[in-house]
Amino acid sequence: MELKRVVITGLGAITPIGNTVQDYWNGLLGGVSGADRITLFDASKFKTQFACEVKGFDPVAYLDRKEARKVDRFTQLAIVSSDEAIKHAGISKDNVNPDRTGVIFSSGIGGLLTFQEEVMAYAKGDGTPRFNPFFIPKMILDIAAGHISMRHGFRGPNFAVVSACASSTHALIEAFHYIKLGKADVMVAGGSEAVVCDAGVAGFNAMKALSERNDDPKTASRPFDKDRDGFVMGEGSGAVVLEELEHAIRRGATIYAEIAGAGATADAYHITAPHPEGLGALNVMRASLEEAGMKPEDIDYINVHGTSTPLGDIAETKAILGVFGDHAYDLSISSTKSMTGHLLGAAGAVEAIACINSVIHDIVPPTINHFTDDDGLDPKLDFTFWKPKHRTVRAALSNTFGFGGHNASIIVKKYL
């Protein structure tokens, strides 16, 4: 079988630091923190009272009011980001075959807000089961992919994959392979998450996973800092249009970058903690390089998972050193979660977009909120603290890891 080359022709994003791809990228380069006090519900009694919320989002600016009420917030965000990506790619019914154009769009959790609202309303009632007829369709996490396909008439492969915080990277990987194997011409892939609600924050608080730095939210997400105390929850959505190279050329599309390879592994270790030596992370980066036919020294930038948890940041750096050896010291490394917070199931797609922009513009976005060196981290590694770095980025690797020990990596490179 002749394997196809897969390129990127469209991007879309709505994030805590910008509601378009350009605004998001500007926010990254400006070192903007998206963290602040929670406004979506009263969090005054919670251990964590802040998050990285999407700002100024009005769904009826994008959707008919009646339609907006039929979908959960995570689907609303998915529709917005995918609309931007599809428009950016210049896709229309006149230049793609709808039967060979698909959507793989993921979420780590899905419609948690809808679930919470419906169950709380039932619990407060008289016991009569009065549930919204859209309860189940609003809640299930595959529904975003369904709405995107129906909105644009795409009849190709359509589903969601779920692997907690690695979900949208796995979506990109699946879309990449569908095209690489010749089973589709165009795929819209990504992920969305919107669980800044009572149940979401309380659940992660109970796990002791979230930062509790309520007195200083904007500096709470501090990957690789000695005093990091957990991740900052974020919300948002990222979408990427992947396209078979010859198909993109035939329709005159602008090609922004190429997907070189990807990997997926498991830690097989613990439900929430990473393997202490970063074994799964090490294996997944090696798998990505192998599929790409690249050597470690071909990578210039790694957008790390870097959630700002005590164990995770150290395990990932061990894995990087294990894969890249001496070249690790020539790499630029950064965690954009220091600005966006952790977008959970949407993190992979949103961070892949950061990598794609790095490849396009030859700029590495920074890791902000670094105040104190951690003795457990190699001081010779370049974490791109505080300021973006201008350098040639031939290829960038994006890591995402999820509860359950799920690991996913994807490599994007300049299109030549």
Residues with active-site annotation: 165, 305, 342
* Of 327, 326, 332, 306, the residue nearest 317 (C-alpha): 306
**Dist CA 323 CA 330 (whole Å):** 13
**Dist CA 211 CA 308 (whole Å):** 9
Decide if 258 contacts 176 (C-beta within 8 A). Answer: no
Amino acid at 63: L
CA-angle at 75, arms to 71 and 76, nearest 5°: 80
> The tokens of 161 are what?
């994959």
CB atoms near residue 98 (< 10 Å): 14
Decide if 53 contacts 19 (C-beta within 8 A). Answer: no
Give, as one character, the DSSP assignment of residue 172.
Answer: H
Decide if 408 contacts 262 (C-beta within 8 A). Answer: yes
Three-state DSSP state, 390: strand
> The tokens of 376 are what?
């457990």
**Dist CA 3 CA 245 (whole Å):** 11
The alpha-carbon radius of gyration of the chain (Å, integer) is 20
- Whose tokens are 């070192």? That residue is 31
10 Å CB burial of residue 183 (0-12, 13-18, 19+) is middle
Q: Which residues contact 385 (CB under 8 A, 6 or more apart)?
A: 366, 367, 368, 370
Exposure string of 256-276, with b = 16+ CB inside 10 Å and e = fewer, is bbbbbbbbbbbbeeeeeebbe
For 329-348, give the DSSP string. GGSEEE-THHHH-B-GGGHH
Residues pairing with 258 in the sheet: 7, 413
Instruction: Indicate left, alpha or beta for 293 from its phi (over 0: left) and psi (-120 to 50: alpha).
Output: left
